[in-house]
Structure 1
Amino acid sequence: MDQTILLHWVEFAVRWLHVITAIAWIGSSFYFIALDLGLRRDPKPASGADGDEWQVHGGGFYHIQKYMVAPAEMPDHLVWFKWESYATWLSGVALLAVVYWLGAELFLIDYNVMDLTTWQAVLISAGSLIVGWVIYDLLCKSPLGQNPTALMLLLFLLLVVMAWGYTQVFSGRAALLHLGAFTATIMTANVAMIIIPNQKIVVRDLKAGRTPDAKYGQIAKLRSTHNNYLTLPVIFLMLSNHYPLAFASEYNWIIASLVFLMGVTIRHFFNTMHAKGDMLWWTWGATAAIFVAIVWLSILPLSRDEPLEEARLSPVSERFAAHAEFGDVANIVLGRCSMCHGAEVYWDGIATAPRGVYLDSDAAIAANARAIYLQSGVTHAMPPGNLSFMEETERAAIRNWYRSVTGGAL
């Protein structure tokens, strides 16, 4: 089988797994935060529980109790909520490797931002995720850990710095994706390195007949709260590669930073509602104002009439551009695709080039050779509905050009 097609299906399988596990993790996280905040507290509960709640779902009633430290005895059956988080992160790293590490010259490296070799880009990519967790964990374990508000402000500052830093190293698409991976790594490490180990200490104390220390539950709850407020921004960042007005803007790092604020205001509304029953409608006003600022930043560069610079080509792209058949393929793409995939879009209803893919110059066509091959050569995905009437002979020319350069190995 053509290796490019095989890799494409591997990406599909890993992405599908990542989405499924992420839904499971986010669903359980949101549920338990809402449950915890909505518990009815009884100062003298007969059961010794900190609070309880009655819920109805699926035709039945549930009576749920929470013990702030632990029950008097270890229950026979105990469900651990950890594999959703682990599977989400592991599948996310696998997807990062398949798309951005194996395809570094196509998606990770932007030679107009920084001239990196593949191994340098991959090393920065992987290393930044580890460094991020170390810095965050040290902050949480410092005296700032006793001041949740100050800690959250410092965490936000760290995310802003990383947002800017990633855009100085990687392509815009990769920068926002990596900021999401950076944050998700912190979230999963919270589960694997803090929350679950602390819960295991409590379980061991119960089995040994000792009274567990309440501090372990308090530490775990702080990290779980951080995860709760970070979830929505991570979802946005993971989907950002579909929105070039976000990732391809020169203000992409500011946009990403504002997304974190928007996630906090939304979660604060629901968390307060679950905890106190209060409806803080001002948070929606703040969210709307932040979103308007994001939209404004995304279109601000469009108001400036600046000359476009010819993109620098990677070594892989240079091979495509140097091939004897490139001129014919470039003419096909310019005639069938550039009306939408260009600096100026000539199709009603489309504001900017879909997914930030430009096909209006030789350099851009060579840089997107694999996408052109998959979308218009192997399949009929593009042009959509064949609106520009691409002929089968033209699709065959695209296939022959790509395969003659790579042998289908890229």
Structure 2
Amino acid sequence: MYDLAILWDWTAFAVRWLHVITAVAWIGSSFYFIALDLGLKRDIPGPADGEEWQVHGGGFYHIQKYLVAPDALPEHLTWFKWEAYSTWLSGAALLMIVYWVGGELFLLDPTKADLALWQGIAISAATIAVGWLLYDALCKSKLGDYPTSMMVALFAIIVAMSWGLNQVFTGRAALLHLGAFTATIMSANVFFIIIPNQKVVVADLKAGRTPDPKYGKIAKLRSTHNNYLTLPVIFLMLSNHYPLAFGTEYAWIIASLVFMMGVTIRHFFNSMHARKGRPHWTWAVTAALFLVIAWLSTQPGMDSYDEAEARPLTAIEAQFANAAGFDAAYDTVIGNCSMCHAREPVWGNMQWPPKGIVLETESDIARHAKLVYLQAGVSHAMPPPNAIQMDPQARADIVEWYRAATGS
């Protein structure tokens, strides 16, 4: 039986898969062209700015770069833009599915800010857009002539945004939104700056004019910015699988340090591709930063789980808590899930509840009804079979309760 919850979960999976596919394509082409540009041999005769010989897949490739443009427009010209556009569009769709439609569970944290769902969604949308506006203003200001100073200013904005997001959203949503904030800057660079500048050059070639080299320089600078922002974005997008990254009051500092790690890692590879040596000190700095992050993740711990909440049920929680079969489902979850999904787990050496999901009180279980239904009702994903063998009737109790609450 395919009810709405199952169809919606598969829809989310399909969009997530699309997002990963397009992101791999974008990141791959971005890293390749940065490495190619840095590794070009510049001491060649002729109008080309540099060339590179490469071997791959049994064949040899001879690549030449023109600083501004060739004398004539080639008959076939490949544009690299749809990878960026489709990555952002699929990511925006996934954010809406998980954090807007599922906002009461994954987006809002009532212990931080008393917000209605529409207010949380408005803040979510605004923070994504504001990042590009601030960054673009920096690039176009006088500070844009000083790349290092400009990136320091951008880092300050990222730290401030990281702190601000953690004041209103769940830790998971805060880190994800910081990633979306940064990814929007990267995609907008392609859409508003890099591609339009390239189109100006193409239009000049078609009209027989000599293209202005400033357009290429601006596009290359923005592409370099994207190169340094990529790795932190990947970390932030993966962070929702690891409560140690987002489930602490220092999550905003952790996210900020991740951007520094992104810079050190890319500096190593960019230096290597440019044949300027291999600065191994960057790996020592990266390792040190990672150790600091690991330490911060346990200082003082996951404040959101300190104690069970004593508050009235929300409307959605009441819908599931008052549904037929809730008592049986509640007993099933307490007996099969709560040893791990507790504020203080008692299973093995577990420090924090998996994925940050707590299932102890009636409000906990009612709030996570859909996840319980999908993970332990219609599927056998939870609990792990080596932890506990869940009785088929117990799973049936969960299914009957959820469907009674939703009328499915």
Within the alignment, does 1:105 sit opposite 2:104 as a pair?
Answer: yes
Q: Which residue of 2 aligns with 1:2?
A: 3
Secondary structure at the aligned position of 1:168 is classed as helix
Distance 2:142 2:152 in 1: 14
Question: What does the per-residue CA deviation read over 1:239-269, in whole Å, with 9 as the maximum and x for residues that have no partner?
Answer: 1110001111111000000000011100011
Q: Which residue of 2 aligns with 1:335?
A: 335
* Greater shift in the superposed pair: 263-272 or 383-392: 383-392
Alignment RMSD (CA, Å): 1.6
Distance 2:172 2:314 in 1: 17
Within the alignment, does 1:11 sit opposite 2:15 as a pair?
Answer: no
Q: How does 1:4-403 map to 2 (within 5 A)?
A: 4-42=5-43, 45-46=45-46, 48-302=47-301, 308-310=307-309, 312=311, 313-348=313-348, 350-385=350-385, 387-403=387-403
Distance 2:264 2:167 in 1: 28
Q: Could you say if the C-alpha distance between residues 318 and 384 of structure 1 is closer, same or farther in structure 2, counting changes exceeding 3 Å?
A: same
* Greater shift in the superposed pair: 269-278 or 81-90: 269-278
Secondary structure at the aligned position of 1:61 is classed as strand
Q: Structure 2-normalised TM-score?
A: 0.96
Q: Could you say if the C-alpha distance between residues 131 and 302 of structure 1 is closer, same or farther in structure 2, counting changes exceeding 3 Å?
A: closer
Question: What does the per-residue CA deviation read over 1:56-81, in whole Å, with 9 as the maximum and x for residues that have no partner?
Answer: 00000101111111111111110000
Question: What does the per-residue CA deviation read over 1:383-404, in whole Å, with 9 as the maximum and x for residues that have no partner?
Answer: 1126322111111111111111
Deviation of 1:307 after TM superposition, in Å, equals: 5.2
Deviation of 1:309 after TM superposition, in Å, equals: 4.6
Secondary structure at the aligned position of 1:80 is classed as coil
Q: Could you say if the C-alpha distance between residues 104 and 332 of structure 1 is closer, same or farther in structure 2, counting changes exceeding 3 Å?
A: same
In the TM superposition, structure 1's runs of 4+ consecutive aligned residues that sit over 6 Å from their partners are: none
Question: What does the per-residue CA deviation read over 1:65-114, in whole Å, with 9 as the maximum and x for residues that have no partner?
Answer: 11111111111110000000000000001111111111111111111121
Secondary structure at the aligned position of 2:64 is classed as strand
Distance 1:135 1:93 in 2: 20
Deviation of 1:362 after TM superposition, in Å, equals: 2.1
Distance 2:45 2:117 in 1: 61
Q: Structure 1-normalised TM-score?
A: 0.96
5+ long unaligned stretches in structure 2? none
* Identical counterparts, % of pairs: 64
5+ long unaligned stretches in structure 1? none
Deviation of 1:123 after TM superposition, in Å, equals: 1.3
* Greater shift in the superposed pair: 168-177 or 380-389: 380-389
| Contact kept? 2:320, 2:405, Cα under 8 Å | yes
| Contact kept? 1:18, 1:91, Cα under 8 Å | yes
